[in-house]
Chains A and B, each alone.
Chain A
Amino acid sequence: MIDAKSSLLRLQAIRKTVGPFSIAADFEIRSGERIALVGPSGCGKTSLLRIISGLDAAEGGEIRLNSRDITHLPAERRRIGYVFQESALFPSLNLIENVTFALRIQKVPRAEREALALPWLQKTGLADRSHASVQNLSGGERQRVAFIRAILSKPELLLLDEPFSALDSALRSKMREQLVELHQLWPVPLLFVTHDEMDVASVATDRLKYDSQTQMRDATSSAVRKFYR
């Protein structure tokens, strides 16, 4: 059984070459923390999330989640919730089928799945549209569905890739509040990518430090983008 209140993500000497530069990461995130990953465009923020989630492989280093070494585990076995920038809802499934997708994979009976999802949908004002097609949802609704879908998989870590980027400013501030509220209900470590300082100020408990360094190796220089705390 996962204890959402005592989770810990630890990245040690993670590195990966992404195009013309390398990214490196060394940090820890604990339960209850919401850490912002801020940096210029193309510095490797999304790549880092993809490495942690297992969608891409690291070239070196170690990722531990609750003392489990997950460095070489495939994405589907890491127990990490990932909210994509474009929400990535499944258009062939309706709203409730989307949010309970992970429970269906775990073979949880339908009635139980829906019972588990209902409180989350009520909290986010989506309960009355639970059987609607996700293709008719607004940008804000899509992001909420994606977030609940990730939480209902009972992840040990939450990763959010620019979760508010497609929303207008009024909706953004509402969504920020809602995200903090929802995270308090499932307070696993949370790491999110953003470009907006307002997101950092209203959501993050801390931010990762970011450095761009130049390393010499075999008489050639290469840029290293490093994320650390």
Chain B
Amino acid sequence: MESGAQVRSSTFLRSSASLWILLFFTGGIFLPIGALLELILKEPAKTVGRLALFDPQILSVVTFTLKQALLSTFVSVLLGLPLGWICARSASPRMQSLLQILLALPYGIPTVVVAMTVTAWLGNSGLLASLGWGYSLKAVILAHVLLNAPWIALGICQAKVQIPRAQIEASETLGANFWQRFRWIEWPHLQWSLFSSSVQVFSLCVMSFALVLILGGGPPVETLETEIYSRIRLGSLDLRGAAACAFWQLLLTLIPWVTLHWFSRRAKILEKATPCFDPRRRTFSWVPALLASMFLLPYVTLYRFAALQLWSTSEFFNEISGPLAVSLKLAGAVAVVTLLTALSALISRPSLKGADLLFTLPAGISILVLGLGFWLAYGRWLDPFEGSFTAMLALQVTTTFPLAYRSLWALSQGTQTPALEAARTLGATPVQAFMTVEWPRWRGPILRVAAVAAGVSLGEVAAVSLFYSENLVPIPLLISRWMGQYRFQEAQALAVFLLIACTALTAAVATSGTFLRRQDRLS
């Protein structure tokens, strides 16, 4: 039986969490998107034929955006599917963990570092400059594939190792050959993973900003993201045109997001086994390890090109100290606010049908679209040309929130109620019971969520490009500016720093589960 004080504090906690979530969604999503739609719809009816929405130039950008996203997704799937399948055949569990870390690492690399690396290979003085792919659609697709093919492979690999081994063996005893086994037994387990990761990759390619901006080399390689950016921050200000692009961008990103939700409800939940490894499948361990490393190898060249000696010069250090402080402050703030928001969402637990859908909505909206909405909704207080740390923070948190919420939601479903009740009967207060029973389960995931949020913030380019000022330039933006000023050596040296920081964070997240379990055992 809870005492009156406990009931009051629990109600207060839930009300505060609900209020914060209401503010977050109203102020961070609904008002900005509403302001954006209002600007588009305010256009006089008599000019319908000449609506900015149907401007031929904007429509051609829509077509190009779709083309590049589809091509990037197609090539990523083409490479990711067989890679994931081969990696899942590795017999040793230890090798399997290593492979999954290798496949996860590229996803944590900031886009500006990917752009820097592709430039080092394909740029005018790059190793493969003779191919003539530099600053073209091919360079953009290559960069997208470098980032996303391992992500698709990871999904396939994780799905394949969970197929119950007895099902594969049963099909063998029933006479199925390799292709028949794949078609009838493995494919039904893999198809949902492939579909969901492909839709995510498509959506990310539509929302890709830094890669297209840096590697596309301007028109004709222009997507909705770069078009929105150039209509706001480059040349003459064209808010109506930017809003029209944002409307199309919203359509292109929300459709995959809704599709994914619609299908995830209907997807057949197939029996899953604890990952088990078939010792008969003796694909040489080094083959999948080598193939998985191929997506990391290009970054090694950054070390070769980078003028690392710059690190020892005081001029370089003076130049980066300001941006470094901004980046670290932003990353720390994003990690804390993301965690608090995700925990608030879990605590408030609205009984609303579709709350889950609502909480993942930000994943279907591009940062630039939301940033434009921020400007339109809060223009009285917010001027992108004067810079805004709060706007950067809010935009980055909307990106990291869905991921944090989903990670922690899964954990919240496994609350150890009997153990909590047992602790209470033994005289523990609710806080003591929570700290004894639940905290050991939550500690690791909370740290991981914070690390992921900080990593995303460290490498994020869109929000900072929109709301930077001369006193508010984070590291990724500095790299991109140095590249624009042809200061490649400095840009490469800084990219190496960002690469190490983000890779270390991703590796820590990927391995921390094991590490924390080991700590628990030791204690």
- Measured CB to CB, the residues of A under 8 A from B are 53-56, 74-82, 84-86, 88-93, 101-102, 104-106, 135, 146, 149-150, 153
- Measured CB to CB, the residues of B under 8 A from A are 164, 166-167, 169-177, 180, 184-185, 188-189, 268, 270-271, 280
Cα A48 to Cα B177 with chains together (Å):
23
30 chain-A/chain-B pairs, Cβ below 8 angstroms: A53-B173, A55-B169, A55-B280, A56-B280, A76-B175, A77-B175, A78-B173, A80-B173, A84-B166, A84-B170, A88-B164, A88-B166, A90-B167, A90-B170, A90-B188, A91-B167, A91-B188, A91-B268, A91-B270, A92-B184, A92-B185, A92-B188, A101-B171, A101-B174, A105-B174, A106-B175, A149-B170, A150-B173, A153-B173, A153-B174
- Are A90 and B184 within 8 A (Cβ)? yes
Closest beta carbon of chain A to B55's beta carbon, Å? 47
Interfacial chain A residues near B271, Cβ < 8 Å: 91, 135
Cα A92 to Cα B268 with chains together (Å):
8
Cα A53 to Cα B280 with chains together (Å):
14
Which of B169, B175, B185, B270 contacts A102, CB < 8 Å? Answer: B175
Cα A75 to Cα B189 with chains together (Å):
22
Cα A135 to Cα B174 with chains together (Å):
20
Known A90-B184, A91-B270: A75·B172 in contact at CB below 8 Å: yes
Q: Pick the most buried of A56, A92, A105: most chain B CB atoms within 10 A of its CB.
A: A92
Closest beta carbon of chain B to A110's beta carbon, Å? 14
- Rank and list the top 5 A-B pairs by shortest CB-CB distance, nearest first: A92-B188, A88-B166, A88-B170, A75-B172, A82-B173
- Are B184 and A55 within 8 A (Cβ)? no
Known A56-B280, A135-B271: A82·B170 in contact at CB below 8 Å: yes
Known A88-B164, A91-B268: A75·B173 in contact at CB below 8 Å: yes
Closest beta carbon of chain B to A5's beta carbon, Å? 22
Interfacial chain A residues near B280, Cβ < 8 Å: 55-56
Cα A146 to Cα B354 with chains together (Å):
39
Cα A93 to Cα B271 with chains together (Å):
12
- Are B270 and A149 within 8 A (Cβ)? no
Known A91-B188, A91-B271, A135-B271: A76·B177 in contact at CB below 8 Å: yes
Closest beta carbon of chain B to A27's beta carbon, Å? 20
Interfacial chain B residues near A102, Cβ < 8 Å: 174-175
Closest beta carbon of chain B to A91's beta carbon, Å? 5
Interfacial chain A residues near B170, Cβ < 8 Å: 82, 84, 88-90, 146, 149
- Are A105 and B167 within 8 A (Cβ)? no
Residue of A nearest to B176 (CB): A105
